[in-house]
């Protein structure tokens, strides 16, 4: 088995040199799915995983724009259209200085499996640019978004490819991009998700990823007759996903101890309550400040510069910042401090060695493609509402989100149950694979 997996990885690696994040995501899937494929005759001789590891299409383009001093800047834009077997390409856009082909291909590959798990008809894609929104004025962000969409618009559409937000892309950026798409096409369509409520957005979409990651963790805790009540929770990040994960934890009676950004983490031993979270939301979303400012407002808290929050003892950890932000030594620290539940709000935040530590300690560990699927699931519900030209209430969307997270949890149990342990990583990868692979088989050599 090891030989089959290694020869597959070698072949994919030869075609994708210098793409470590993409190869990390492919290896994780291959290690979980190939042992399953060999037991299933229908997949033999179809080269199905190799086909899934090759994007259907990659678009790369120049994004020129003028900054506030009148200088011409240039960035690189991308859209990876990974797989459309079960629906149009769907996935976010990331604006961050680290963005490159490897990072977007890993995200697009993960998205294919994640979207399949949501039970909704969505293929997988991802895009973005190496643009750093930090410190940019509203005008600069708008001009960048307009230039980005001036090329992207010809590749997307409500039945072709529907982008949304991710790191560095929230409601403001979606608004600027939607406005430019509408001018170029002279059409009002649901081409992006994460839109404002008065122009086609869905209630609960901003909350969905964070809430979903907590709902998924709740489902995992229930398998042990446990809950969030009075649990200490450590969260990384302080953006969209982290904020709403924290909100749901607080609503469920947990004590949230940390939040972070790329400069460090804040630790509040008294817990971040609803009022303190409102301060964080204003700080991050309106004034676009740094999380370190929390300690000026709440002096009993401390700021740990350049550090990650995993050293703070907790029962539950929710990584909600970025890829590879939790390594083997962090995982060992967490488990030795009693952490027994990890639900990933971010995409691929735990390194492969960290995941091994979680499995060895029988931690309730959910990979992002299962636990953060609530965001794209509510994006799917936004698309459905746009097609219906109708809006569901908050309660309706939240009820559907909870049902979807429960369904994903059940799919993981179906394919991931091992002796005395649920391997959610294996369960999510196989369940996602089966749905997409069966559709591809039915469609011929695609």
C-alpha atoms less than 13 angstroms from C-alpha of 132 in its C-beta half-sphere: 4
Residue 432 touches ligand NDP, criterion: CB under 6 A: no
Instruction: Please give the Cα distance from 390 to 385 (Å, whole number).
Output: 5
Query: Of 348-377, which residues contact ligand NDP (CB under 6 A)?
Result: 372, 375
Site string for ligand NDP, 402-431 (x = CB under 6 A): ------------------------------
- Per CB under 6 A, which of residues 153..192 are in contact with ligand 2IT? 164, 166
Identified binder of ligand NDP from the candidate list 21, 140, 261, 327, rule CB under 6 A: 261
Closest approach of ligand NDP to the CB of residue 409, in Å: 17
Nearer to ligand NDP, 5 or 281 (CB): 281
Q: Are 381 and 397 in contact (CB under 8 A)?
A: yes
| 320 is an interface residue for ligand NDP by CB under 6 A | yes
Q: H or E segment at 106?
A: helix 101-117
- DSSP H or E segment with residue 341: strand 341-343
The smaller minimum CB distance to ligand NDP, of residues 49 and 381, is found at 381
- Residue 249's CB: how many other CB atoms inside 10 A? 27
Binding to ligand 2IT, residues 372-401 (CB under 6 A): 375-376, 379
Q: With contact defined as beta carbons under 8 Å apart, do 239 and 321 qualify?
A: yes
Active site residues: 126
Q: Two tokens at 205? A: 């979409």
Number of Cβ atoms within 10 Å of the Cβ of 158: 15
- Residue 258 touching ligand NDP (CB under 6 A): no
Length of the chain: 446
- Specify the 3-state DSSP secondary structure of 325: coil
Using the rule CB under 6 A, which residue among 347, 350, 385, 411 binds ligand 2IT?
347
Secondary structure (3-state) at 24: helix
Residue 193 binds which entry of ligand 2IT, ligand NDP, none, CB below 5-8 Å type-dependent: ligand 2IT
Identify which range of 89-97, 138-146, 276-284, 401-409 contacts ligand 2IT by CB under 6 A. 89-97
For the chain, report the end-to-end CA distance as a whole number of angstroms.
Answer: 26
167 interacts with ligand NDP by CB under 6 A = yes
Check: CB of residue 424 under 8 Å from CB of residue 365: yes
User: What are the residues binding ligand 2IT (CB under 6 A)?
Assistant: 90-92, 111, 114, 164, 166, 193, 347, 375-376, 379
User: What are the residues binding ligand NDP (CB under 6 A)?
Assistant: 165-168, 170, 209, 237-242, 261-263, 320-322, 325, 345-347, 372, 375
């Amino acid at each position: 088995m090891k030989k089959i997996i290694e020869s597959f990885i070698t072949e994919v690696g030869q075609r994708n040199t210098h793409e470590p994040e993409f190869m990390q995501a492919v290896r994780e899937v291959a290690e979980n799915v190939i042992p399953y494929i060999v037991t299933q005759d229908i997949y033999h001789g179809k080269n199905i995983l190799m086909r899934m590891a090759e994007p259907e299409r990659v678009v790369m383009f120049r994004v020129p724009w003028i900054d506030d001093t009148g200088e011409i800047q240039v960035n690189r834009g991308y859209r990876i259209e990974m797989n459309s077997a079960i629906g149009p390409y769907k996935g976010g856009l990331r604006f961050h200085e680290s963005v490159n082909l490897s990072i977007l291909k890993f995200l697009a590959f993960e998205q294919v499996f994640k979207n399949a798990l949501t039970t909704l008809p969505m293929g997988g894609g991802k895009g973005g640019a190496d643009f750093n929104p930090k410190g940019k004025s509203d005008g600069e962000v708008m001009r960048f978004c307009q230039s980005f969409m001036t090329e992207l618009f010809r590749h997307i559409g409500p039945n072709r490819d529907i982008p949304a937000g991710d790191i560095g892309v929230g409601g403001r950026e979606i608004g600027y991009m939607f406005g430019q798409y509408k001018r170029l096409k002279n059409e009002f369509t649901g081409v992006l998700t994460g839109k404002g409520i008065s122009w086609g957005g869905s209630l609960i979409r901003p909350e969905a990823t964070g809430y979903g990651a907590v709902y998924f963790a709740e489902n995992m805790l229930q398998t042990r007759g446990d809950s969030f009540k009075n649990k200490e929770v450590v969260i990384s990040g302080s953006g969209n996903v982290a904020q709403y994960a924290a909100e749901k934890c607080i609503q469920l009676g947990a004590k949230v101890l940390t939040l972070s950004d790329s400069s460090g983490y804040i630790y509040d031993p008294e817990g971040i309550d609803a009022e303190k979270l409102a301060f964080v939301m204003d700080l991050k979303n309106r004034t676009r400040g740094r999380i370190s400012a929390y300690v000026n407002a709440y002096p009993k808290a401390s700021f740990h510069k350049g550090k990650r929050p995993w050293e703070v003892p907790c029962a539950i950890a929710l990584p909600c910042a970025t890829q590879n932000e939790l390594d083997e030594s962090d995982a060992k620290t967490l488990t030795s401090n009693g952490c027994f539940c990890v639900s990933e709000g971010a995409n691929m935040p735990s390194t492969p060695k960290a995941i091994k530590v979680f499995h060895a300690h029988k931690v309730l560990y959910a990979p992002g493609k299962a636990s953060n699927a609530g965001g794209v699931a509510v994006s799917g519900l936004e698309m459905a509402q746009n097609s219906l030209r109708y809006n569901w209430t908050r309660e309706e969307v939240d009820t559907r989100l909870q049902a979807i997270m429960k369904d994903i949890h059940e799919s993981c149990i179906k394919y991931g149950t091992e002796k005395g342990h649920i391997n959610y990583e294996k369960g999510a990868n196989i369940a996602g694979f089966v749905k997409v692979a069966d559709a591809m088989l039915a469609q011929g050599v695609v």
